Structure 1
């Protein structure tokens, strides 16, 4: 029986005999494993926690979960623990790779780093390597990410592999395949009808609330909108270390009537919010293929986002499907004003965004990954 091995640093949770992890990741993996005879997942299992709203369960009749420690080196205590944990994890990775027929590695990440070293010992086994971060060679990234990228791109150290990356970049080796991801099926497509911008402007932020995503921009933008007497609502979907800080800042600036923090919400709830929203405010410092942007575009929600990774390809370098901006709330406001003055411009951009995003559905994704079986 052929064994499909998945190695990832994504944290997992067990409940009622099923294994759960971050929803968008599992939704994609369930497509990878749909036609596989046997599946083994090698990843951290957090036994002290239960799955949350945004987590989904793997769907496969013959799935085996192999738990390893969720190691890191962010403190001296963790570094000392890793002296024992890392050799143990390396041995576990080697053993599982030995028993597998197809090795699927998710990078960048701490598990991916170890797996990329070990896979060198298996040049004749077929591998698919998903680089879910920013493949841009000029981007500022941690050294460990650059190491993983270099090994994956090397045809000397990584053989018999297809490395799936977001975007087209000049230094790609024959290993590399420009790729994409998806969130919705074609059957989910439906017409979108939004209320006029001038009646009530609806803005949304989707994602983890921490400094790398610059979520505070939405608060400062909201303050400018209030000062200019624009009727609007701003919805934050997501959680993170900065959430409480932003909630307090919102209250301090008198924005409580306009800004709402929903925390983690289900995929179904996000879908309904995006269908009603006009603009996504998502000025992240680094991304791979930002699902927040792609999902917003699928529902005609025009993204205001940053020019990182393949995002310019997604929204169009000339702004035909979205707006590329820096983290300057005043410039974002001025761009919103141009849409407020020209409702037809919004409709044109919204439709273009929707048409582009709907070309990348889960059926297309499934068809593409089946080429790597």
Structure 2
């Protein structure tokens, strides 16, 4: 089977191996093990391999380099429009050669792919929609167009669209799915942490406005001012890094807030295993792997009510759902910090739920999609 991947994810090439963002590549390595040949249509623009990038396992990849499409700012829009015909041709050519077409959405490259796949109704196709499929969510027009095309059984045929959560109005194209990080063999016993001495909080993700890392800092700041001995480690980098550091400096939070930057998976795993809570006050999510990963290791999730998060947390039975009101959310966390039994109960439920969604199950379901 020749497998064509259409994606906006930036790639790089080093020592004759292609690399990209590690969580994405780990997943694609599972898909590609059930194929004979792989063609990737994506931007080839990464110069340096960082701690959060890994190589594809497949070594004989056919790579079609395209330009990134950015629709923010006049120059970026103009450049994207100028390159669109060439990009569209490369996507069309890869789809024509493929036995199976795989789209990565949402994104501007995914949007082009959604239109072009219409011309191949007879080919088997999958799409991974890694964003929020909630039809009522406020999203950019390009995202809404992608969702409409993928859900439309007249325009999109022979397609299985993998989405996070179950939503009303979904057509037969739509298949509720999940993402996994750990295997069955990773299931070592974990015990809820004791809520005394230093209570550790984590934030794992991009330091971007949409992820609301400042709100995470403010939660821990308020808890500290209330007399709790707490700390916060932020794993990740982004445009808000300096803003957040300046905030911590001006509010004298250097002793309780630590910026860890991008770290390898093993380092983040150890942090999950040693921390009490993970904070994710995000504005938008698809399937937040950070929550599932933390829950796997007994690190209780504290997250905003977006996408399928309420379902993941069983509406508060497996974690804390944020109201995004600082006083109210701090009060809710305080209640847990003062009730070890309630904390233990939520942690054990979250561990049991997360450990149902392993890479072994994910691998079997991907195999069923590609080789029914």
Tell me, yes or no, whether TM beats 0.5: yes
User: Which residue does 1:21 correspond to in 2?
Assistant: 20
Q: For 1:335 and 1:275, how far apart are their aligned partners in 2?
A: 23
User: Which residue does 2:123 correspond to in 1?
Assistant: 125
Which of 65, 73, 85 is the aligned partner of 1:75? 73
Instruction: Tell me how far 1:36 sits from its aligned partner.
Output: 0.8
| SS of equivalent to 1:327 | coil
Instruction: Tell me how far 1:193 sits from its aligned partner.
Output: 4.1
Q: What is the total number of aligned residue pairs between the two structures?
A: 370
Bigger Cα displacement from structure 2, 195-204 vs 276-285: 195-204
Which of 165, 168, 172 is the aligned partner of 2:166? 168
1:222–1:255 Cα contact (<8 Å) kept: no
Which of 350, 353, 358 is the aligned partner of 2:350? 353
Instruction: Tell me how far 1:157 sits from its aligned partner.
Output: 0.3
2:280–2:304 Cα contact (<8 Å) kept: yes
Q: For 1:336 and 1:71, how far apart are their aligned partners in 2?
A: 41
1:283–1:326 Cα contact (<8 Å) kept: no
Which of 276, 280, 283 is the aligned partner of 1:282? 280
Instruction: Tell me how far 1:30 sits from its aligned partner.
Output: 0.5
Per-residue CA shift, 1:318-367, capped at 9, x if unaligned?
A: x1101111222322221222122211111111111011001000000001
Which aligned runs of 4 or more in structure 1 are off by greater than 4 angstroms?
none
Structure 1 residue runs without a partner (length 5+) = none
Which of 353, 359, 362 is the aligned partner of 2:359? 362
User: Which residue does 2:36 correspond to in 1?
Assistant: 37
- 1:341 has 2:343 as partner: no
| SS of equivalent to 2:298 | coil
| SS of equivalent to 2:201 | strand
Which of 76, 83, 86 is the aligned partner of 2:84? 86
1:194–1:276 Cα contact (<8 Å) kept: no
User: Which residue does 1:109 correspond to in 2?
Assistant: 107
Structure 2 residue runs without a partner (length 5+) = none
User: Which residue does 1:256 correspond to in 2?
Assistant: 254
Q: For 1:62 and 1:286, how far apart are their aligned partners in 2?
A: 36
User: Which residue does 2:96 correspond to in 1?
Assistant: 98
User: Which residue does 1:269 correspond to in 2?
Assistant: 267
Instruction: Tell me how far 1:80 sits from its aligned partner.
Output: 2.1
Per-residue CA shift, 1:299-327, capped at 9, x if unaligned?
A: 1111110111111110002x110111122
1:39–1:63 Cα contact (<8 Å) kept: yes
Which of 215, 218, 229 is the aligned partner of 2:216? 218
